[in-house]
Amino acid sequence: MEYTFSDRVSNLKPSAIREIFKYAADPEVVSLSAGNPSPDAFPAKEIAEISAKVLAENPISVLQYSVSEGYTPLRRHLTEYMKKEHNIGREGDDILITTGAQQVMDLCSKALVNEGDVVICEAPSFIGSLNTFRSYNAKLVGVPVEPDGMSITALEQALKDNKNAKFIYTIPNFQNPSGVTMSLEKRKAVYELAKKYGVLILEDNPYGDLRYSGEFIPNIKSFDEDEIVIYCGSFSKVISPGMRVAYCIAPKQIFQKLVVCKQGSDVHTNIWSQYVCDEFITKYDFNAHLEKLRKLYTKKAQFCMDLLDKYASPAITYHKIDGGLFIWCDLPESIDMPSFCKEAVLKKVCVVPGNAFLTDENEKCNSFRINFSTPTDEQLEKGIKILGELANSKLK
């Protein structure tokens, strides 16, 4: 039979990262392509305790259907926590618990974007979000990422040129894939431009709690007095990605539409996962857990950068990071990046080619992304040594 697909999905391609995972399944391959937390990061003992207790004492509370907005205690505690710790949340806001941060992108696209509308994104940006926007036939307009965040000049030009822009999508903290952190000055400038041109901001912050050095910079949502910022947070990188619990803080009118869209997607997020997250952040020392993660990733990030200095220079340069899970690496113009990534796979090392993160995947790119949180120290050293030898051999 010849199948006819919807216009929304007919031109969609599989995620480059998920495709690379197929190679990474080979036990001999060193995967520097994932975005997974370290195996040492999971509070497995605490999750087991919480789960055993609720299943023994009140199992129906986590086995029955629940409300679409999310587990009420978790919503309440997150509202209090975000206001106290990050000055996020105003009277005009409400909070929705979602099935991972990816669902926030999907629900916002479903609620706000018509076919042909523009979504302005950082270039590069997270491939999962880009593919979600593409699935709603949005036109993606990329704004170059500079060392201190997206170019404000290019952003204003994009807003001038695209009157049907619906929102600006940004990952201001330890951006995936570039690792860049947007300066406070630029965060305020992005906010003012959004207000000036009447567009929303979708602020994605999965890595904000994983800062290793430098000073905390207020999130864009923290100075949202005009109800134009939708904030997305997640427990994936600080508790467990497999539990699929994230949250969205949005102006009430937008929140109400997101709830309706969620009801048509999955009714509600896994209630057991929400219960576990709520118990963990309220009954255990959540801040101590975050500090443990920061120490773990500080060590792994520095080890990775030291390895790049030792084995990859001068052919591979990289951008130093203050947090997050990724390092963005650059090759000289004389080395073809796609060919390099393919050769690396043949040598049993997986990285993600940089063009996978662009709004136009056909645009030339000489960068690639590596992840240091998932591999062991031994795997990381082996993989970076191979990458360095391969890149430097091409300079001769």
Q: How confident is the model at residue 394 (pLDDT cuts 50, 70, 90)?
A: confident
Give the three-class secondary structure for 350: strand
CA 2 to chain centre: 37
Question: What's the pLDDT band for 3 if we cut at 50, 70, 90?
Answer: confident
Q: Does a structural domain hold residue 313?
A: yes
Residue 175 lies in a domain: yes
Cβ(303)–Cβ(380) below 8 Å: yes
Residue 49 included in any domain: no
Return the pLDDT at 2: 80
Tokens at 318, concatenated: 């990289």
| Residue 14, domain CATH | 3.90.1150.10
Helices 152-161, 184-197: axis angle to 10 degrees equals 10
Q: Name the pLDDT band for 18 (thresholds 50, 70, 90).
A: low
Residue-level pLDDT at 6: 78
Do residues 222 and 83 share a domain? Answer: yes
Judgement on whether residues 31 and 107 belong to the same structural domain of the protein:
no
Q: How much is the pLDDT for 375?
A: 94
Same domain, 73 and 196: yes
pLDDT for residue 395: 85
pLDDT tens digits along 104-148: 999 999 999 999 999 999 999 999 999 999 999 999 999 999 999
Tell me: do 205 and 354 sit in the same domain.
no
For the chain, what is the domain count?
2
With a CB cutoff of 8 Å and minimum separation 6, the contacts of 172 are 149, 181, 182, 187, 203, 205, 217, 219, 220
Same domain, 270 and 304: no
Instruction: Give pLDDT tens digits for 277-310.
Output: 999 999 999 999 999 999 999 999 999 999 999 9
Q: 2-6, 174-178, 360-364 — which one is most confidently predicted on average? A: 174-178
Q: Do 167 and 297 reside in the same domain of the chain? A: no
Q: Supply the range of the domain harboring residue 189.
A: 61-283
Residue 54 is assigned to a structural domain of this protein: no
Q: Which of 228, 254, 283 is the last residue before a domain boundary?
A: 283
**pLDDT at 348 exceeding the cut of 60:** yes
Asked whether residue 30 is assigned to any structural domain, the reply reads: yes
Q: Are residues 150 and 95 in the same domain?
A: yes
Geometric angle at alpha carbon 375, from 372 and 377, rounded to 5°: 90
User: Do 251 and 267 fall into the same domain?
Assistant: yes
More confident residue, 275 or 12: 275
Q: In this model, does residue 26 exceed pLDDT 90?
A: no
- Banded model confidence at residue 20, pLDDT cuts 50, 70, 90: low
Q: Which of 25-29, 267-271, 299-303 has the lowest mean pLDDT?
A: 25-29
Residues 360 and 260 in one domain: no
Among 255, 283, 311, the domain-final residue is 283
Geometric angle at alpha carbon 320, from 222 and 382, rounded to 5°: 130
Q: Are 8 and 135 in contact (CB under 8 A)?
A: yes
Tell me the C-alpha distance between 94 and 109, whole Å. 18
- Whether 198 and 71 map to the same domain: the answer is yes
pLDDT for 25 beyond 80: no
- Domain containing 174 — which CATH number? 3.40.640.10
Same domain, 215 and 230: yes
> Is residue 48 included in any domain, yes or no?
no
**In a shared domain, residues 257 and 387:** no
pLDDT of residue 35: 86
Mean pLDDT, rounded, of the chain: 94
Q: Calculate the CA dihedral of residues 353, 358, 360, 361 and round it to 10 degrees.
A: 10
Which pLDDT tens digit goes with each residue over 43-100? 999 999 999 999 999 999 999 999 999 999 999 999 999 999 999 999 999 999 999 9
Both tokens of residue 125? 């940006």
Whole-number pLDDT of residue 280: 98
Q: Are 93 and 251 in contact (CB under 8 A)?
A: yes
Mean pLDDT of 2-8: 77
Distance CA 380, CA 137 (A): 38
Last residue of a domain, one of 232, 260, 283: 283
- Residue bearing the bigger pLDDT, 222 or 363: 222
- DSSP E strands, the chain: 30-31, 93-98, 118-123, 139-146, 149-150, 165-170, 200-204, 229-234, 246-251, 317-318, 326-330, 349-350, 352-353, 367-371
Residue 327 confidence (pLDDT) above 60 = yes
Judge whether residue 11 has pLDDT over 80.
no
Residue 85 three-state SS: helix
